[in-house]
Structure 1
Amino acid sequence: MSYLKSNLNKLLKAFVGQQYYQENTNAQELNIIQGLMRIGNKDYEPHLKSFKHKLDQLPKPGNDELWLQYTVANILRGELSGKPAEVEMILQESINRLDEYYLINKLSYGIEIQNQQQVIQFAPSFQNDLMDQIELLLVNKKEMSPRLSLYYQLYLCFKYKEEEAHFYRLVQLLQQHQLKIKRTECRAIYLATINICLRQMHIDYEGYATICLGLYEEGIRTKILFERGLLTEWTYRNAIKIGLRLERYKWTEDFIHTYNPFLDVEAQKNALYSNLAEVAFSQKDFDQTFEYLHKIKINNFRYHLITKILLIKTFYETENIDSCLSALGAFTVYLSRLKGVSSAVKKNCQHFCQLLHQILMQSSDKKKEKTKIKIQQQTPLAEREWLLDVFSREHPRF
């Protein structure tokens, strides 16, 4: 039985590999050409030229296609003889394809490193050589492909965080080139640009939030931000939260109803009522907030967290402090027992509970001052702005 299982597992892996290979028709064509060349069959020559023409017509070549274009051009370069102009042209094409493939991938690694360094420190021996030379090369380059220009601009944004001109140029290039690159790749660039916005909001909240909301709106309208044909609950919610922070209540409510049908069917009701509850709370319609909250079915720990925090906030805003403290205590116990979620998610909510309890229960001026500093500096922390507002109402002297 053990041997049978092992052999079946090998057979399954071989089947999966063959399925992937059959779907990758470009790789198949290249292998056929190389096979014909290996056995000396001259039929490869028209096949090779036809395949090159097909690759050259691709509207949105990605890394795989770039490498195929380079490989095919390189094969042709080795086969050509006689006409100097034709040899020169294919040689230049080989160089261009290889350069673009190399530069895009080096920039991609450079972006990842710059992004990671904001979170963790790399070992001193970690190296990503030649980035300064690549930057110097590209800053003087007059023309770049859509992909290369976007990766280069994104790299500059991460490296020179304080220079806003790089970011505005990135947004401009994204609008200009978003339909010229593959949707999956464009989605990743959109999300990276949105993350830059989120980080810069502490400098100029309204300016960057407005740009961020525009990116969400455009990315969702064009379905670039969709995954497997659907809008995710959390991309949907993030756009809504920014709309509410900018006090665009009518826009936000219209957005909720317009794009709810694009969510997974099983997520639609919870996402609808959860986000409408947020709109009602923002407009201080607390009766409506309670009504929407009661319609949410807790089938996911994320909705439990969202619902409980909003319920606690609504109890406070309706001056039902006993219910607020009771819900706060129950939520604290729930978080202490919650398993299988990231530490950051738990701490985000636990810090909220701790600080709200301190705001409502502490009496000495010294402790109140410490609580205010904690609210300003504690990371991660859910609902920081609301907690600061509650603190100012509870302790107006501070």
Structure 2
Amino acid sequence: MPLTPLLYQLLDKLDKTALRELKKLVRSPYVTHRKDIPLLFNTLASYCYQGKPFPTKEHLFKSVFDDQPYDDQLLRSLMSDLHLIIEKYLTWNAVTADEVSSHLALAGFYRQRNLTKHYSRAIKKADRKQSQHPYRNADFFQNQLKLQLETSKFQSTQQRTGHLNLQEIGDTMDVLYLAQKLRHVCSQLSHRAVYQTDYQFGLLKGWIDELEDSPYLEVPAIALYYYCYRFLTEAYSQIYFRKFREHLLIHYSQFPQEELKDLYRAAINFCIRKLNEGSLEFTREGWELYQEGLLKGFFIENHQLSRFTFDNIVGFGLRLEEFLPVAQFIESYKSYLPQDYQESTVYFNLARLEYGQKNYDQALAHLQVANPKDLVNQLIAKTIQLKIYYEAEEFDLLESHLDSFRLFIRRREVSDYHRKNFQNIIAYTRKLITSNPYDNEEKQKNKAMILQEEILSERKWLLRKLEEI
């Protein structure tokens, strides 16, 4: 199958409004005098509207040049010119979407040509648009700095002495730097937790402690990421996590949707890591963050809910034994799952739900249907089986399952974190079934080892089973 040209891949991603605007644009003599450009565009756009694949080059050439002999070089040149026009259209839309920057660019043009009255009108529009902007994130302060710098340039041409806004510029530079740096460092920390990448944070350590109780924390774009940094780096982080949550609830309207998603994900991923480490204090936090995100629509993109998000929500709910809300969630949101993963994801999570309610036969039946495609879910499914065999005292089945589970991990490309976690689960389960129930010293030793284990997602279950021996 021939590769689809970049031009058609681009057109296929544009919405109908953009296609209508482009249809007018390619007919404008300001853009091109070529009569074949609109013909090419109309043909390709009609294919996009109908959801058809890219036509053959010969068919495309004929739709534009009629009976002229096919000329591949001519068609390539024409497609390249159309692609360039579309990119200019997209660039123009991106530039004009930021009204503050647009007015500032116009003001700069007027300033350079000494058109004072024109400049005054443009800068006032920029100032008004800036003050009316709904958000107060780092991007807002970026435009605030641009506005102040443009005003300063104009002031310096009008007066040699008197007040200039140099202090305001310096203050905004500080706020902007802190907001951008903290946001970026939080991204580094979140990424490092997953991929074990070693990042350097530059000047951060030199001034981070000075921010505590400083006026800068009155700026939500700084405070949110400061508390995010703190809970991602402190050993005893709940106080900072609480402050982060308070600021997020109060100031969420000052941030765009995409940035809010990132903030919620950073906090949720932190809760997931804490949960996997056996720390239950963040379980309720993670569950509530997910409920807020669902209510605000953060997790539904293109009418779909990620299967990983679906799994995590169920996981938090089950840890809290919120069985009815979990069942309601599965029923309400299963239709949002990608079609290819819908059945396996639903049955996998129904199995988790039934296990949580101690309906072991139903849980095993759901697992047989589920057959998870994701490696981590396969590991979780095997862990559920492990616990069911133990609970049912099917120790022969359990011994066989532990052997196959260990072999499964050895033969798969599993992350270091998951390898360590599930190997620990297998090892401590073996200790459960081989422990002498009358040897209290051995029991206390095993308990101490379980408590000290850094990575152990089933710590609570193992400790409970140890106490029951």
Shorter-chain TM-score: which interval? 0.7 to 0.9
Report what 1:73 is aligned to: 148
Distance 1:88 1:248 in 2: 62
Structure number with greater CO (CA < 8 Å, separation at least 6) is 2
Structure 1: any 5+ residue segments left out of the alignment? 1-7
Distance 2:420 2:281 in 1: 29
Alignment of 1:348 with 2:421, yes or no, is yes
Shift of 1:289: 0.6
Report what 2:54 is aligned to: none
The one-letter code sitting in structure 2 at the alignment partner of 1:297 is N
Shift of 1:79: 0.6
Distance 1:51 1:286 in 2: 65
Report what 2:450 is aligned to: 375
Alignment of 1:98 with 2:173, yes or no, is yes
Query: So what's the TM-score if we normalise by structure 2?
Result: 0.66
Q: Does the 8 Å CA contact 2:277/2:455 hold for their aligned counterparts?
A: no
Q: Does the 8 Å CA contact 1:110/1:131 hold for their aligned counterparts?
A: no
Are residues 122 and 303 of structure 1, via their aligned partners in 2, closer, same or farther at CA, if it must alter by over 3 Å? closer
Name the count of aligned residue pairs: 380
The one-letter code sitting in structure 1 at the alignment partner of 2:207 is M
Report what 1:313 is aligned to: 387
Report what 1:333 is aligned to: 407
The one-letter code sitting in structure 1 at the alignment partner of 2:416 is S
Report what 1:63 is aligned to: 138
Report what 1:390 is aligned to: 465
Q: Does the 8 Å CA contact 1:61/1:182 hold for their aligned counterparts?
A: no
1:312-362 per-residue CA deviation (whole Å, 9 max, x = no partner) reads: 2222222322222222222221211102x3221222222222322333246
Q: 3-state DSSP class of the match of 2:264?
A: helix
Distance 1:124 1:92 in 2: 31
Q: Percent identity?
A: 24
Q: Does the 8 Å CA contact 1:206/1:246 hold for their aligned counterparts?
A: no
Q: Does the 8 Å CA contact 2:136/2:221 hold for their aligned counterparts?
A: no
Distance 2:237 2:452 in 1: 25
Q: For the aligned residues, what is the CA RMSD? A: 4.3
Q: Does the 8 Å CA contact 2:138/2:221 hold for their aligned counterparts?
A: no
Q: Does the 8 Å CA contact 2:145/2:172 hold for their aligned counterparts?
A: yes
Are residues 291 and 200 of structure 1, via their aligned partners in 2, closer, same or farther at CA, if it must alter by over 3 Å? closer
The one-letter code sitting in structure 2 at the alignment partner of 1:355 is Y
1:136-194 per-residue CA deviation (whole Å, 9 max, x = no partner) reads: 6xx24298343233223434545665475544332222111122212222223223334
Q: Does the 8 Å CA contact 1:77/1:90 hold for their aligned counterparts?
A: yes
Structure 2: any 5+ residue segments left out of the alignment? 1-75
Q: Does the 8 Å CA contact 1:100/1:148 hold for their aligned counterparts?
A: yes
Q: Does the 8 Å CA contact 1:253/1:279 hold for their aligned counterparts?
A: yes
The one-letter code sitting in structure 2 at the alignment partner of 1:24 is A
Are residues 59 and 288 of structure 1, via their aligned partners in 2, closer, same or farther at CA, if it must alter by over 3 Å? same
Distance 2:454 2:278 in 1: 20
The one-letter code sitting in structure 2 at the alignment partner of 1:236 is F
Question: Alignment partner for residue 301 of structure 1, among 375, 391, 395?
Answer: 375
Distance 2:222 2:129 in 1: 22
* Largest Rg, 1 or 2: 2
Q: Does the 8 Å CA contact 1:359/1:368 hold for their aligned counterparts?
A: no
The one-letter code sitting in structure 2 at the alignment partner of 1:57 is Q
Distance 2:282 2:276 in 1: 9
Distance 1:199 1:338 in 2: 22
Please show how residues 161-240 of structure 1 align to structure 2 within 5 Å. Answer: 162=236, 165-194=239-268, 197=271, 208-226=282-300, 230-240=304-314
The one-letter code sitting in structure 2 at the alignment partner of 1:128 is L
Are residues 344 and 149 of structure 1, via their aligned partners in 2, closer, same or farther at CA, if it must alter by over 3 Å? closer
Report what 1:146 is aligned to: 220
Query: So what's the TM-score if we normalise by structure 1?
Result: 0.76
Distance 1:143 1:112 in 2: 19
Distance 1:332 1:15 in 2: 58
158-167 or 308-317, which moves further after superposition?
158-167
